[in-house]
Chains A and B, each alone.
Chain A
Amino acid sequence: MEAISGSLALIGYGLAAIGPGVGIGIIAGNAVQAMARQPEAAGMVRTTMFLGIAFTEALALIGFVLFFLA
């Protein structure tokens, strides 16, 4: 069997991106639902959505940095 080569850090980054990916999907999906149900609250929902995405994204960003450091 041929040896698999490459950087383990890359796999680590891929793993770190799973959770935030799912989380951002949930946030955006629920935001779309909220906007469809109450279009007049769209502005507030959008701001809150960006905030939620930003906080969720932090984990993927930490993975991104560790990928460079490793």
Chain B
Amino acid sequence: MDQLILASGECDLSTSSVCAPEDVRELFEFRQIIFEIGGFPITRTVVLIFLVALLAMALMFFGLRKRSVLPGRFQAAIEGLMGFVRDEVAVGIIGPEGIRFFPYLMALFIFIFIGNIFEVTPFINFPITSRMAIPLFLALLTWVIFITVGFKRNGFSYLTGIIWPPGVPTFLKPLVGIIEFFSIFFVRPFSLAVRLFANLVAGHVMLSLLLLTGYVSLVTIFDIGVVKGLFGFAWWALALAIYMFELIVILLQAYIFTLLSAVYIETSMHVEH
């Protein structure tokens, strides 16, 4: 029970039956400082970030340590995942040069996936990607990479090439230029970050509400009547169905983030003039 309340700040269950955050801005803040290292407060989210990083590294290390020709089950799974990201995303989208970006895309995929899967992990129940700072940082990383690649490959013509697609009439160039510039350099990283954030927040809030409603119904069963109270189990059954749905969302969002990063890099590499 404590796990569910942790995400929404402190409250007293004896006075109010549901713990809700006082303000939605709580979603963007970091509370519950566990301890401090040299002035840097360490919150639960920060601990979880390091846990995700450690898990990702351990998964790759133990999965690929032996490199046997006849892979075991675990090695085959990790190799299958890597093959998927390499063939479908890195090489499939960017082209043969995409193999250079494969390590970045693979790290992105596995970090987001493990961070997301904490949403449905018992006793953690908190996707780290539902704090805006983390998707925003990952999106900015992609942003820096695709701009750097664009200028490196195309020189200054990258800027003019990408905001004026071929065939734009001259009298429309100012308008199209403004729209494309805004869309490529601001909306792209922004929507990349917010997509991940919004999906995970929505899932987390939905699961918390359903599980809490079921819990509150069951603990107050003698106050609200047995029939109403037993509906708590129905809420939990619904929560279980949402768990299944969230598993799909978790995998899909990690895939889409990686895929779009690859697409943005590709469009910066091959600018049409």
**Closest Cβ neighbor of A43 among chain B residues:** B88
Mask: chain A, 15-57; 1 = CB below 8 Å from B; 0 = not: 0000000000000000000000000000100010011001001
Asked whether B24 is an interface residue with its Cβ less than 8 Å from the other chain, the reply is yes
Whether the Cβ atoms of A57 and B92 lie closer than 8 Å is: no
**Closest Cβ neighbor of A64 among chain B residues:** B198
Asked whether A11 is an interface residue with its Cβ less than 8 Å from the other chain, the reply is no
Whether the Cβ atoms of A51 and B191 lie closer than 8 Å is: no
Whether the Cβ atoms of A50 and B195 lie closer than 8 Å is: no
Most buried by B among A43, A57, A61, A62: A61
Q: Report the separation of the CA atoms of residues A50 and B256 in the bound assembly, to the nearest whole angstrom.
A: 7
| Interface size, chain B (Cβ < 8 Å) | 16
Q: Report the separation of the CA atoms of residues A69 and B194 in the bound assembly, to the nearest whole angstrom.
A: 13
When distances are taken between beta carbons in the complex, the residues of chain B under 8 Å from A43 are 88
**Closest Cβ neighbor of B27 among chain A residues:** A68
When distances are taken between beta carbons in the complex, the residues of chain A under 8 Å from B25 are 68
| Interface size, chain A (Cβ < 8 Å) | 12
Chain B: minimal CB distance from A40 (Å): 16
Contact residues, B154-200 vs A (CB, 8 A): 187, 191, 194-195, 198
Whether the Cβ atoms of A64 and B194 lie closer than 8 Å is: yes
Q: Report the separation of the CA atoms of residues A54 and B25 in the bound assembly, to the nearest whole angstrom.
A: 26
Whether the Cβ atoms of A47 and B194 lie closer than 8 Å is: no
Whether the Cβ atoms of A51 and B198 lie closer than 8 Å is: no
Asked whether B42 is an interface residue with its Cβ less than 8 Å from the other chain, the reply is no
Of the residues A54, A58, A62, A68, contact of B24 by C-beta under 8 Å: A68
Contact residues, B1-46 vs A (CB, 8 A): 24-25, 27
Q: Report the separation of the CA atoms of residues A3 and B67 in the bound assembly, to the nearest whole angstrom.
A: 69
**Closest Cβ neighbor of A46 among chain B residues:** B88
Asked whether A65 is an interface residue with its Cβ less than 8 Å from the other chain, the reply is yes
Whether the Cβ atoms of A51 and B187 lie closer than 8 Å is: no
Of the residues B187, B191, B259, contact of A50 by C-beta under 8 Å: B259
Whether the Cβ atoms of B24 and A61 lie closer than 8 Å is: no
Of the residues A51, A64, A65, A68, contact of B260 by C-beta under 8 Å: A51
Q: Can you offer 22 A-B residue contacts whose CB atoms are under 8 A?
A: A43-B88, A47-B92, A47-B93, A47-B259, A50-B259, A51-B260, A51-B263, A54-B195, A54-B260, A57-B191, A57-B195, A58-B187, A58-B191, A58-B195, A61-B191, A61-B194, A61-B198, A62-B187, A62-B194, A64-B194, A64-B198, A65-B194
Name B residues whose Cβ lies closer than 8 Å to a Cβ of A: 24-25, 27, 88, 92-93, 187, 191, 194-195, 198, 255-256, 259-260, 263
Nearest first, the 7 closest Cβ-Cβ pairs linking A and B are A58-B191, A61-B194, A64-B198, A61-B191, A54-B260, A68-B24, A61-B195
